[in-house]
Amino acid sequence: MKPRVILYCLLGGLPMAIAGLGGGKPGWWWLSGVLMAGGFVPVALRGPRSAAGQFGVIASVLLVVASLCTWSEGIVFMPSFREHAWRDLGGSMGMNLVVAAGLAALAWGLKLTQGPEEKVERRSLGSTIPLVLACGAAYVIYYLFFGAITYEHFTKVYYPEAAQLVGKIGGMFWVIQLGRGVLMTLAAIPVIYTLRMKRWQAAIAVGALIWIAGGAAPLLAPNEWMGTRQRIIHIVEIFTQNASLGVTAVFLLRPRKARAAAGAPVLA
């Protein structure tokens, strides 16, 4: 199994490497793709059994977390990013659809999906909706707390006008962040409700995945907007925000398992 997982990651990085040929840094983009594929290893092993199911789960995370939410943050804080914003969003989504298709095909072709059929506990729609909003509110808290620390001590030099930009947007800025938290949670629900893992294992897997897709992998490769130190700072910052959101979402949205028929407690 381990050689096949390694092959899944190595081959899974090729679509992003090919996309990086135009920028002259295919090696860095391949490493970025390898890291991205690594984030989806739990999905490949213990997620949906069909290739179509794998594609749907992976595409949901990539299109929303890696493309839309990352793009929206650039729109707010990087004015130069706005010049070709819609073109860049379309290109990112197109590339991520290719990545999702490639990873789904690899998981199916390498026969990675393992483990017995297992019921994943889910909440009702009526109870899920307020909990998704609660996850969005939790993300705002993580964003405010960790973002303020990062900005004050590390990134103010890179974004000297950030406070003014946020001031101009006013309260709508926090509505935007609430929306980002809600969108990332919704994108993660297919993963949360298909991972045949214990609750705490799923929390770690989803937290790592939202961090990797929303920051670690995209920022691994050099880009025209950020230097190396700046990218590293943001990778760490996004870990504190996105991984916390992923863990929170799993523990809120996945209830503890019901007691076994024999009456013994089942650990979640």
Q: Residue 198: what pLDDT? A: 93
- Give the distance between the most distant pair of CA atoms in the chain: 63
Q: Residue 258: what pLDDT? A: 56
* DSSP states along 150-206: HIIIIITTT-TTHHHHHHHHTTHHHHHHHHHHHHHHHHHHHHHTT--S-HHHHHHHH
**Comparing C-alpha atoms, which of 60, 27, 66, 41 is closest to residue 212?**
66
| The pair of three-digit structure tokens given for residue 57, joined into one six-digit string | 């789960």
Query: Whole-angstrom Cα distance, residue 117 to residue 95?
Result: 32
Structure-token match 């213990």, residue found: 46
Q: Is residue 26 part of a domain?
A: yes
Query: Whole-angstrom Cα distance, residue 157 to residue 146?
Result: 17
Q: Is residue 213 part of a domain?
A: yes
Using DSSP's 3-state secondary structure scheme, residue 229 falls into helix
**Comparing C-alpha atoms, which of 237, 222, 234, 238 is closest to residue 184?**
238
Q: Is residue 266 part of a domain?
A: no
For residue 72, is pLDDT > 80? Answer: yes
Q: Is residue 268 part of a domain?
A: no
Q: Is residue 151 part of a domain?
A: yes
Q: What is the mean pLDDT of the chain?
A: 90
Q: Residue 263: what pLDDT? A: 46
Q: How far is the CA of 107 from the CAs of 32, 46, 65, 224, in angstroms?
A: 19, 11, 21, 33
- What is the number of structural domains in the chain? 1
For residue 163, is pLDDT > 60? Answer: yes
Say how far residue 236 (Cα) sits from the centre of its chain.
14
Cα 72–139–75 angle (5° rounding)? 10
200-212 pLDDT, tens per residue?
Answer: 999 999 999 999 9
Contacts of 100 (CB under 8 A, 6+ apart): 55, 58, 59, 62, 63
Q: What pTM value is reported for the model?
A: 0.90
For residues 182 and 132, the answer to whether their CB atoms sit within 8 Å is: yes
Q: Is residue 136 part of a domain?
A: yes
Q: Residue 260: what pLDDT? A: 38
234-266 pLDDT, tens per residue?
Answer: 999 999 999 999 999 999 999 987 543 344 444
Q: Is residue 104 part of a domain?
A: yes
Domain limits for position 36? 2-113+125-253
Query: Whole-angstrom Cα distance, residue 17 to residue 20?
Result: 5
Q: Residue 261: what pLDDT? A: 37
For residues 223 and 70, the answer to whether their CB atoms sit within 8 Å is: no
Q: Is residue 181 part of a domain?
A: yes
